[in-house]
Chain A
Amino acid sequence: MKCQRCPKQATLHITEVLPEERFEEVHLCEDCAKKYLYEPQQKKHGKLAAADEDAPAGARCPACGITFLEFRNHGRFGCPHDYDAFRADLLPLLEGVHGETRHAGKAPRRGPRAKPAQSELTHLRQQLHTLVTEEKYEEAARVRDRIRQLEEG
């Protein structure tokens, strides 16, 4: 399979979890995937056609604000979202440390129903953060309401 942004072979297959339990599959080569993962959340949805040329060099996790460089210097991540935010850089590192990149063991025993809600919550919190920093307060309020709804439900 070809990368969706350049002629290279796609090596990373990402499933984006969208609101309302929709999913979007993205197939990219490693270089494009790195850029893709550093892009702000909204740009990913919908138009994948044009690669963002001026992606910031020191990309940050949208949730905790840490950069991959900071992680490399301290050896500690800032928050659970970093595993997705720095996924492309992380994979070779995990391969080196563990010889594997996929968990094979115990998983939380909560009912499977809890899981989509959890990943949607994670996603919505990221989105909320981005919307607030971009001062899109009206949309942010809607996302916040949805988070509350999920937390209570």
Chain B
Amino acid sequence: MNLDSLLPNLGEWLRGTGPESDAVVSTRIRLARNLADYPFTGRGSNAQKAETVARAKEAVAKADLPYRLDYHDVPGLPALDRQFLVERQLISRELAAVVEGPRGVAFDAQESVSVMVNEEDHLRLQVLRSGFALEEAWADIDRLDDALEARLPYAFHPQFGYLTACPTNVGTGLRASVMLHLPALGLTKQIDKVFRALQKINLAVRGLHGEGSRAFGDLYQISNQVTLGKSEAKILGEIREVILTILQYERQARTVLLKERRQAEQDRVARALGTLGSATMITAEETMELLSVVRLGIHLRLIDDVPATAVNQLFIQTQAAHLQKLVGHPLDGEERNAARAKYLKTRLRELGSSRQ
């Protein structure tokens, strides 16, 4: 499959639908799994890594699943394609550029299910869902895990559970991350308070691209830290409770915004759209910040002529690798900022003329 065929699609995580999608962008669950008879990836020779790739590929190809997973060899992909997959949340930055040797990723046409091979662990299973969908994502990944386990001997320990390269993942190997859009908590400066409370109960807060990444555009990933000693259902139940509480705070803050400064918010949204539609140079960060304002405007019903999916489309297509694929050739930083501004101007004009 040519990766360029994915370009016009939004991918599962930006579909913009699903429960609570006014504030929950997407739900992601990953499971870390390793094969019993090999050293972990970090200590494996290239020959051993090639073997784990071969075994994983075979298991993925023959797995009894209602969808097909296509495998892509990562070392054979140009840097731009790897970055493209990172932006679509199908692989990690580590798999793209940090770990070495034979490795790859298999994913389905909907871009909802992916299996990374030879990242930190031999297998990193992932399921992405739009909106707040922990139960559905768990059902999907549990089935994927069973299908692979039927063909691969996992490293499992009676006391410690699923064994992982890093003991912070041992046990269930499960990390659930919910991507939230929390602009009103940001505006009313309550966000730090919320996050301090989260850290006390062992939940992590990260930016868009996971560990160590900055939070742009009021997007935050909330995920569990503890993987050992709690069942999957308990981990998911705890994170679910916390997310529901945060959503309540965010909605309260939105209501207060509307009540106390509706005019000012309306102005902010109009200016954000104005800048996006008229700039001639714009960075990815500024684009994300402005799109965040527009997204809030849509959900507060301050504007009704820009669909939420259009914001998601602009969001993904203006990221560096997507932009270069759209243009069809590599661009340096300055060129990217110009191309991004041009793309935004064109797309917003199209949206504008279609609503007349």
Contact = CB atoms under 8 A, between A and B. Distances in A.
B38 A75 contact: no
B161 A80 contact: no
B168 A99 contact: no
B172 A106 contact: yes
A74 interface: yes
Contact of B146 (A102, A109, A125): A109
B166 interface: yes
Interface in B208-261: 225-232, 234
Contacts of A64: 39, 43
A102 B227 CA distance: 10
Given A78-B43, A80-B163, A105 B149 contact: no
A148 interface: no
B194 interface: no
A7 interface: no
B228 A100 contact: yes
Could you tell me the dominant secondary structure of chain A's interface residues?
loop
B159 A102 contact: yes
Contacts of B39: 63-64, 78-79
Interface centre among B145, B225, B228 (most CB of A within 10 A): B228
B170 interface: yes
Contact of B231 (A78, A79, A105): A105
B40 A79 contact: yes
Interface string B292-308: 00000000000000000
Contacts of A110: 149-150
A83 B163 contact: yes
B40 A105 contact: no
Contacts of B315: none
Contact of A79 (B43, B153, B167, B226): B43
A108 B149 contact: yes
Interface string A80-98: 1001100000100110011
Nearest to A97: B168
Contacts of B332: none
Nearest to A15: B158
A98 B229 contact: yes
B149 A90 contact: no
A106 B38 contact: no
B226 A107 contact: no
A133 interface: no
A116 to B, nearest CB: 11
A13 to B, nearest CB: 11
B142 interface: yes
A118 interface: yes
Interface string B164-193: 011110111010000000000000000000
A55 to B, nearest CB: 23
A104 B165 contact: no
Given A78-B39, A93-B167, A105-B231, 17 more contacts: A76-B165, A77-B165, A79-B38, A80-B34, A97-B225, A98-B229, A99-B229, A100-B226, A103-B157, A103-B161, A104-B231, A105-B171, A105-B230, A106-B145, A108-B149, A109-B150, A122-B36
20 contacts: A64-B43, A77-B165, A77-B167, A79-B43, A83-B157, A83-B163, A98-B171, A98-B226, A100-B229, A101-B159, A101-B228, A102-B228, A103-B172, A105-B171, A107-B156, A107-B161, A110-B149, A121-B36, A122-B36, A125-B37
